[in-house]
A = this chain, B = another copy of it.
Amino acid sequence: MRGMMKHFFYPSAIAVFGVGSGSSNLAKNIIHNCLEMGYTGNILPVGKNPGVVFDKKIITNPEDLPANIDLAVILVPSHLVGKYLDVCGSKGIRHAVISTGGYREFIEINNSAEVTLLETAKRHGIRFIGPNCIGIINTGSGLCTPFNPINTKNFKKGTASIIAQSGGVANQVAHSFSDEHIGFSKIMSIGNKLDLDEIDFIEYLMDDEDTKQIHLYLESIDNGRKLMEAAKKSTKPIVILKSNVSRTASEVAKSHTAALSNNDRIVEGALKQAGIIRVNTIHEMTVCAKALRLPELRGNRLVAISLSGGFSVMLGDACEKHGFTCPALPESLIHKIESFRRGGVIRMTNPMDFGDIHSIEALIFALKECLALDNIDGMVLSIMYGPEIAKMFGKEMTKLDKLLDIFTQISKEANKPIGLSFFAERRYIEQLKAVNTFPVFNDPEESVLAIKMLWDYSRRKLIKQKSGKDEQSRIQFKENRSIINERSALSEYESKQFLSSYKIPVTREIQVTNKVSLIEAAKIIGYPIVLKGCSPDILHKTEKNLISVNIRNEDEALIAFRKISSRMNGTESSILVQEMVKGKQELVVGLINDPHFGPCVMFGLGGIFAEILKDVSFRVAPLDPCDALEMINEIKGVKILGAVRGMEAVDMNILTDILITIGKIGMENENIKEIDINPLIISGNKPVAVDALIVLKEPQE
C-alpha cells in the first residue's frame, strides 16, 4: 500500500488528460497549480487539439507519451474516461486521479460509464482516486491536482493531513489550516471513492512520517468497521467532520458524492468507541488541530484564570457546559496569590479573576502553582492584551514570542495543557497566533472547547490504561454459527431460551399446551402469573390482546387461558406461563445489523422514552465494559436508573454484562438480524428480560 501510495503523492512525472489552451479549459489549471506549488517532476499535458500551455506543448497523440509516468490526472467527459484509462494502461501508468464527474452522483449506480471505468482500471491494474474529485495537494512534493486555480503561496507546510469527501472542502481546509498557522502535509479529495477510499488513505497516513494528525471530512461512512479498526490501531489522533446528518442535506449529498446517509446515532457511538474526535465545522477542525499540539489531558479538573472578571465568569460557564469541574484551590495558595494584589479588592477563587494583579511574575507564579496541584489536570487562561497593558505587566509581555515561551515552558514542565486565549484587538490576536510556538485560541469559549476535544481524545485511553488491560481482548468469540430454524423469527419462548443460554436473565416460564399442564406450570412458577399467546408468527401480542397479567389463582388462569386460546384461532399449542415481574424501571435492549457498521447494540429506557422520544444510544459490537457503561450514561433519562423515588439503584454490573453479551451474540451468530428485549424490567435492582424477540436473516441477506 505504502509503495503504491508513493506514486500518488510523490510522482516523478504526471500526465494531465483533458488539457486545452482555451480560456475556459479547466484541466490546464492543474498544471498551473502544480507549477505554482513547486512540483519539480515532469508534467505532460494531453489534449484533443494542439497548443501550448505554460510553455508545455499539448500532446494530442497519447502514443507520444514517454514511459515512466507515475500518475495520470484525468478531466475529460465521463464517456471518454475509459478510453484514456486504456491509454494509461498501454503506457504503463498504474495510478490515476479521475476528476471527471457525472457518475453515480448524477445518474444511476452502475451506469455504463462507471462500469467501463471500473473494468478498464481492473484490466490494467490501475488504482485510482475518484471519480468526481479534485485529487491531491501535497506540500511535500508540490503536487496540486485541483482543477480550480489555487493560490498556493500562502499554504503552510506542516504535519496535519486531511482526507476530504468534497473538493470544495479540500480546497477550503488548505486555506483554513494555513490561515490558522497549522501547516499541512497532504490533502486528498476522494470523491465517489469507487476504488481507493478513506480507509486506504488513513492506513497510508498512519505510516506517513510527515503526518502527525489525520483529519477527515466525510459525507458517508461506507465501511464503518474498517474505519474503527484503523482508528484503534492508529497512534496518531484521528479527527472527523461527518456531515450529511440531516434529511435536508441527504438529497444534495447524494448528488454531490453519491453519499448515502448513515444512522448518526450509530456513527456517534462508533466514533467514541474508536477514540475518534468528532468536530462540527471546518473551523472546529482547525481548533482541534491546535489542541492536539498540547500535552495530554488526564482528567476533567481545570483551573480557569482570566485577567477580567467577566471572562472568568464566561470561562466558568463554558467549563461546566463541557463537563469540566473547577475544584477549589488550597487556602494557602490562594493567600500567596492574593499577596500579589494591587488594589486588594478582588477575592481569588477558581475560576479566578486575576484583574487586580498587574505583574507577569505573579501570573507565572499562579500558573505554575496551580498546574502543580495533584487535583488539577489542566488550565484555561484568558489574558487581556495590548502593548500598553503589556508594559504594565512587565517587559516579558511586550515581546510576543517571549510571552508565548512562558506558556510553552509552564505547560511542558507541568505536562498539562493550557487552553490559551487573549481578549484584545484582533490584529494582536492574529499576531500572537502567527508566532505559532504555542496554540492561541480565538476566544475563551474556544479555548475550553479545545480542551474538551483533548478530553474526548484521551478519556478512553486513560480508562483502559487504568483498568490495566485492553478489555476488549477478554471477549472470546465462538465460531460463527447459525441458529437452525426455517422461520424468519423465533417465538418469545425460543428467543428467551436462546438468550438464557448466554446467561441473560429472563423470566421463569413454561410453555403449555393444555389446561392440565397450565395448572401444573402455574404451581411451579407460583401465582401471580402472566399468560401469553406465544408463536413466532405473533409479533405484536399486546395489540392482539394475547397477554393476561396479574393472574392470581386457578380460576383466573383458566379464564385467561380460554380467552387467549380463542384469539389464537382455537389452537392450544403455544401458551406461555410466566412469572409476574414487577418493577417501575423498564428498559429496552436490542441488536440491529447496520448496513455500514454491522451488529450494533441499542439501549434505552422503555415505554415512551425509546419509542417516542428516541432517547436511545448505540454501540458497535463487540462492546467492552467501558462502551457499555458509556452507552448507559449517554441516554438523557439515565438518572432514573439511580436510587430515585424510593427505588433501588440498578445493578450496573449485570446491566453492562447484558449489553456486552448482546454484542457477543451479534458477533457469534451471523444469521441473527435483530434482537429486541422489550421490556427489560428492573426487579429489585436486577434486570430481567420480560419479553424478547429474535428475528433471523433471510437466507439471501
| Residues of A that sit less than 8 Å from B by CB | 24, 77-78, 101-102, 106, 148-151, 154, 164-169, 171-172, 175-176, 178-179, 217, 219, 243-253, 255-257, 259, 280-283, 304, 306-317, 319-321, 325-326, 343-347, 349, 351-353, 355-356, 384, 386-389, 392, 423-426, 442-443, 445, 608, 611-613, 636-637, 639-640, 644-645
Contact of A246 among B179, B320, B445 (CB under 8 A): B320
Question: Which residues of B sit under 8 angstroms from A636, Cβ to Cβ?
Answer: 613, 636
Q: Which of A168, A310, A388, A425 has the most CB of B within 10 A?
A: A310
Contact A313 B253, CB 8 Å, known A248-B351, A343-B101: yes
- Taking a contact as CB atoms under 8 Å apart, the answer to whether A349 and B255 are in contact is yes
- What are the 3 tightest A-B residue pairs by CB atom distance, in nearest-first order? A168-B308, A166-B310, A256-B309
Contact of A386 among B149, B176, B256 (CB under 8 A): B149
- Taking a contact as CB atoms under 8 Å apart, the answer to whether B282 and A443 are in contact is yes
State how many angstroms separate the Cβ of A84 from the closest Cβ of chain B.
17
Question: Which residues of B sit under 8 angstroms from A255, Cβ to Cβ?
Answer: 309, 346-347, 349, 353
Question: Which residues of B sit under 8 angstroms from A644, Cβ to Cβ?
Answer: 608, 611-612
- Taking a contact as CB atoms under 8 Å apart, the answer to whether A256 and B313 are in contact is yes
State how many angstroms separate the Cβ of A241 from the closest Cβ of chain B.
9
Copies in the complex: 2
**Given the complex of chains A and B, what is the CA–CA distance between A389 and B343 in angstroms?**
57
Contact A423 B172, CB 8 Å, known A317-B243, A346-B106: yes
State how many angstroms separate the Cβ of A162 from the closest Cβ of chain B.
12
Contact of A219 among B313, B345, B392 (CB under 8 A): B313
With CB as the reference atom, state the residue of chain B lying closest to A319.
Answer: B248
- Taking a contact as CB atoms under 8 Å apart, the answer to whether B645 and A168 are in contact is no
**Given the complex of chains A and B, what is the CA–CA distance between A385 and B439 in angstroms?**
28
- Taking a contact as CB atoms under 8 Å apart, the answer to whether B425 and A175 are in contact is yes
**Given the complex of chains A and B, what is the CA–CA distance between A640 and B308 in angstroms?**
46
- Taking a contact as CB atoms under 8 Å apart, the answer to whether A321 and B246 are in contact is yes
With CB as the reference atom, state the residue of chain B lying closest to A326.
Answer: B248
State how many angstroms separate the Cβ of A25 from the closest Cβ of chain B.
11
With CB as the reference atom, state the residue of chain B lying closest to A178.
Answer: B425
- Taking a contact as CB atoms under 8 Å apart, the answer to whether B168 and A384 are in contact is yes
Q: Which of A168, A281, A282, A283 has the most CB of B within 10 A?
A: A168
State how many angstroms separate the Cβ of A641 from the closest Cβ of chain B.
10
State how many angstroms separate the Cβ of A369 from the closest Cβ of chain B.
18
